[in-house]
Structures are given as structure tokens and as C-alpha cells.
Amino acid sequence: MHTTAPILKRTLPYDLEAIREDFPILSRRVHGKPLAYLDNAATTQKPRSVIGRIQQYYESENSNIHRGVHYLSETATAVYEDARIRVRNFIHARSEREIIFVRGTTEGINLVAHSFGGQRVTRGKEVLISAMEHHSNIVPWQILCEQNGADLRVIPMNDSGELLLDAYEKLLTEKTAIVALAHASNALGTVNPVRQMIDLAHAKGIPVLLDGAQAVAHSPVDVQELDCDFYVFSAHKMYGPTGVGILYGKENILSSMSPYQGGGDMIKSVTFEKTTYNDLPFKFEAGTPNIGGGIGLGAAIDYLQSVDLPRINTHEAELLAYATKALRGVEGLRLIGEAAEKACVISFTLDGIHPHDIGTILDREGIAIRTGHHCAQPVMQRFGIPATARASFGMYNTIGEVDRLADGIKNVVKIMR
Ligand code: C6P
């Protein structure tokens, strides 16, 4: 059975080749060329240990959890709850009661908008988000505001893609019911000064939700140190499986919230007259969850910790600096998002060339990037563009792949002009 034994860290130096060997998909060819996978902000690839852990679950542990007295059910429950402990340790939460398994970032935000927002975002109140949010951190709040007669307010940003903190301070008023903010932007790469922004909100008694989808796999997160009230993220962007993610919430706030969905596992007792709800975290986990996915997330955390997040961060910062320099040298290339603090995301446009053409031509070279609005249409509107091409790096990317990207972009310019 999987246990919470201490993780053995790899020895220095950062062994890129060994890391790449852990990811079977990285050795495949695409259109006859070696794959250069530079779409990690969309989803990351999965190491053998994660794939193997999920396979092990289905081959030898599969059963429903929290329900049976038989051996397999007890085993599945133990390994699933063990994954919750891994998540708690990974983000430094106080207790497992603060760790809710959800489908991903999107569901986590919808849960908070529905359960917390339903109670607190009343007529005349405001929800404060930023100009660089993913649609997942816009639309749930918009729906809530429309339903409850509240207003959505937006923190503006400058041309580099940095939030304007003076404007932010002014937008924090007695009307603000919650601030919901990207820790790191998927479209621009900006890492927001969330610690400072949380302090400013808390000084006025306003809770803060952080969308950590683009942050957790790139640098260590300590929710107690950040003092955020909610933190959400998806396993599939941190080398884990799709269909599972985490909502962290402070226990006192989660306790005061009504359930999100009703069903099995979230109750203590049900009669036709009255239902009493289960304790945290189960109150928010109605129905059979993605058990294999949760266990896979635990394995992904083990893997991240074995490689070591601070070292991943250093490696990715080197890739980002190298790529930024290389791309700046391409004629007609405009970087979208030049914040001083950036995650390993480079969005760009090429004069007179549609981003989809860039993506398609690079794909023929085996280079996978994302093109489009990246589910952040207001960001595109802010910069007056329909779309960008976006390269995003993970722990396994190499300088050689960045060179291929830069050469590929120069080739796009040659073909299209
Ligand atoms: N961004 C991208 O290519 P889900 O789909 O629930 O796992 O994550 C949604 C989400 C929320 N917030 C941010 C900051 C995100 O980047 C994402 C997902 C992917 O940029 C897919 S659109």
C-alpha cells in the first residue's frame, strides 16, 4: 500500500535527461520529428510513476470508498485519504479538513462562487477580479452577480501585464465581498504579488481566493504563509491526471458554507424531513469521486517533490530567460506579457501572421504550442489582438527545444512573408 513515507529527493545536479526518461511520451515523434512539447500551461505530460500508480489502483485496489467494510474498500479509502494528506503537506494546509477534492480549478471556483458567494455576495455587493483572469475565474462570478444583483469589478493592468495596485486599493471597499485572483496568468505569465494583495484585502476584512492553476507546479505554495482564504488548482497541470483538482479553504470559512451539491457521502443522516451534513471535507464531496485520479494526484506530488520544486523553478526560470532573449531577436515578434515577475509562459504575436498559422507550421516540425485566446478573451481585448501564440515550459523542457522553437518561428516568418 502507498504510504506517507518521506520522499527521497534526487541528488544534485538537476538531471534533465533522467527526468525526461521518466515521461514516456517525450520520446515519441510527431510528423516524423522529435516531439518538443511546449504546451504545459494547457496540460503537462505524466511521468511513469503517476501512470503506474493509477494502473496499480485499477489492477489491485479498485473499490468504492468510505462505504464498504470489505478489504478492497478499506484499502481504496486508505490510499485515497493518504493522497489528501499528501496534498495537505504539499500546500502546507493546517488540516485535511481543508482539502476538498474537486474536478479541477474550474469546479473549485464554481463551488466557492455557489456556496460562499450564494451566502455573501448579496444585492449591492461586489466581486473583485483582475483583468488577466481565465474565463473560469470570470464567468462563475458573473453568473453569481447576475443572479444576486451584485456587481463584478475588475483590477486593471498596465501594458506589461502587471496589475495596478493603486487602482486595486481603491477598488477594495465595504462593498467588496470577495477578491478572486490568478496567482499566475495563463495568457501572460504574470505572477501577481498575491501576498501583498491578500494583506491589503484582509486589512479591510475581505477574503481572497487564489486561482493557482498556473502556479502550483512551478514554485512552492504555502497557503498558511500566503494567508489566502481559498486556493484552487488542477492535477493535470502538475504532472497528474485530468478530472481531479483541489479546493483548499480555511476551515472556519468552509464550515460556515452550505454544501455545493447534494448526494451520497456528503451526509450524516437523511430523512424526508431533514438531512444533516457530513463533516469537512466530505460535506463538499457528493457522490463517488475520481478515486484513481485523486491517488494519481498524490503520486504526482511525490514526483514533484522528488525532483524538488525550487530546482524546477530555477530550471524553468533559465528556460524563460533564454527563450525571451531568443524570441526578442525575431523580426516583427511582439511579446504579450512582459511583467517583471513571470511564470514560464511566453505569449507572442508575429506582424501580419495569424497565430493559428504559427501553431500549424510549428506543429509540422513536431513543436507543440497553443494558439488562440487561451480562455482569457478579456486579456486579448486589453492588448487589442484576437489571439496569441503561446509557448509554456515544464520541468522537462530543454534549451535545445527553445532553440527549435526560435528557429521554427523564423521559418514561419520566411514561409508567410
Ligand atoms: N488553462 C490553458 O491552456 P481547468 O480546465 O479547470 O483544469 O483549469 C482552468 C484554468 C483556470 N485558471 C487558469 C489560470 C488556467 O490556466 C486554467 C486552464 C489552460 O491555459 C486551459 S484553457
Is the predicted pLDDT of residue 60 greater than 60, yes or no?
Answer: yes
Same domain? 213 vs 90? yes
Q: What is the distance in A from the centroid of ligand 1 to the CA of 105?
A: 7
Same domain? 129 vs 251? yes
Catalytic residues, by residue number, are 375
Q: How far apart are CA 68 and CA 63, in angstroms?
A: 9
pLDDT-derived band at 417, boundaries 50, 70, 90: confident
Q: What is the mean pLDDT of the chain?
A: 96
Q: How many domains is the chain partitioned into structurally? A: 2
pLDDT digits (tens, 9 = 90+) for 112-159: 999 999 999 999 999 999 999 999 999 999 999 999 999 999 999 999
Angle at 341 between CA 244 and CA 153, to 5 degrees: 70
What domain range includes position 294?
54-305
Same domain? 386 vs 332? yes
Model pLDDT, residue 67: 85
Q: Is residue 6 part of a domain?
A: no
pLDDT digits (tens, 9 = 90+) for 373-397: 999 999 999 999 999 999 999 999 9
Q: Is residue 5 part of a domain?
A: no
pLDDT-derived band at 221, boundaries 50, 70, 90: very high
Our answer on whether the CB atom of 41 is closer than 6 Å to any ligand 1 atom is yes
Q: Which residues of 226-245 are buried (b: 16+ CB within 10 A; e: fewer)?
A: bebbbbbbbbbbbbbbbbbb
Q: Is residue 133 part of a domain?
A: yes
Q: What is the distance in A from the centroid of ligand 1 to the CA of 1?
A: 32
Model pLDDT, residue 68: 83
Q: Is residue 25 part of a domain?
A: yes
Q: How far apart are CA 332 and CA 365, in angstroms?
A: 21
Same domain? 111 vs 239? yes
Output the pTM of the full model: 0.97
CATH number for 24: 3.90.1150.10
Model pLDDT, residue 9: 54
pLDDT-derived band at 13, boundaries 50, 70, 90: confident
Model pLDDT, residue 98: 99
Q: For the chain, give the percent of residues with pLDDT over 90.
A: 96
Residue ending a domain, among 250, 278, 305, is: 305
Our answer on whether the CB atom of 139 is closer than 6 Å to any ligand 1 atom is no
Could you tell me which residue, 124 or 67, shows the higher pLDDT? 124
Q: For the chain, give the percent of residues with pLDDT over 70.
A: 97
CATH number for 59: 3.40.640.10
Same domain? 277 vs 360? no
Give 241's contacts (C-beta < 8 A, 6+ positions apart). 46, 50, 54, 235, 290, 292, 293, 296, 297, 300
CA 170 → CA 126, 130, 155, 165, 182, distances in Å?
13, 13, 10, 9, 19
Same domain? 110 vs 210? yes
Q: Is residue 45 part of a domain?
A: no
pLDDT-derived band at 2, boundaries 50, 70, 90: very low
Pocket test residue of 234, 369, 380 for ligand 1, highest count of atoms within 8 A of CB: 234
**What single letter denotes the amino acid at residue 242?**
T
Same domain? 184 vs 326? no
Beta strand pairing call for 99-102 and 245-249: antiparallel
Model pLDDT, residue 6: 46
Q: Is residue 10 part of a domain?
A: no
